[in-house]
Structure 1
Amino acid sequence: MMQISDTYNQKHSLFNAMNRFIGAVNNMDQTVMVPSLLRDLPLDMEEKEGVHKSNGAANYFTRRDMHSHYILLKSIRNDIEWGVLQGEDRKKDKLTTMDISRLEDAEGEEDLEKQFHYHLCGLHSVLSKLTRKANILTNRYKEEIGFASWGH
């Protein structure tokens, strides 16, 4: 039998974060019937009024219209579902065998558990932000096409 603490921990698992993100992007993809309508529309209402955030990552998103977000979110979903081996293979082709062995040696000297937890927390945070972006995009699309009364 699952205990309350197990349920809480599962809620915050990377697997569930990925599933929430994939679900949000799938919902976005099913809702957005005409992606070209997203061109030149800002994602957030603050952007529409010209308010930009000072954070570098936030600025990356503010320079993009809803269509760019739509394409980016679908691309990230595909990378999660199908893997990014092609990208990694391309990187390895550019590195010599000697470069790869030096990188692996350097990584082995550091505390792998700390690295893992650092990257896990970072990945979880990024997935949460991307999930929120997918949900915002879906709701903004509904507003733009006049179906704001659709279920959220």
Structure 2
Amino acid sequence: MMQISDSHNQKRSLFNAMNRFIGAVNNMDQTVMVPSLLRDVPLDMEEMKEEVTNGAANYYSRRDMHSYYILLKSIRNDIEWGILQGDDRKKDKVTHMDMVRLEDSDGEEDLEKLFHYHLTGLHTVLSKLTRKANMLTNRYKEEIGFGSWGH
């Protein structure tokens, strides 16, 4: 039974975090009517200040709002529909050592690769746990003779 005190813990649940993310991306998608207007627009004001001091070369080395828009929509789709397992993703395959380098790097991390690495791992673990739960359920049914009741 869920109690009122559980609502704080519920806010920290993976399911609710995914729902908040999907809601935010859906809101973004409904608000942004012309995504192409986001091209070449820095994501935040700090990037804009840095570009003014470092010049145009630095400007094109960073992601703009349009690329983040596409990234966020792609991640939302991966959560809702699963990660593509074709040739498209083979080039994006991240090993454990790649992940450690991505997380420890001083520069901007590749959030999409980190997300896919962790989502794939979470999916694998949840699939194994699902099989275990199904095995336990079937074993219990065998023990109590549930399978013979229907015949």
TM-score by length of structure 2 reads: 0.49
Considering Cα pairs closer than 8 Å and 6+ residues apart, tell me whether 1 or 2 has the greater RCO: 1
Larger Rg: 2
TM-score by length of structure 1 reads: 0.48
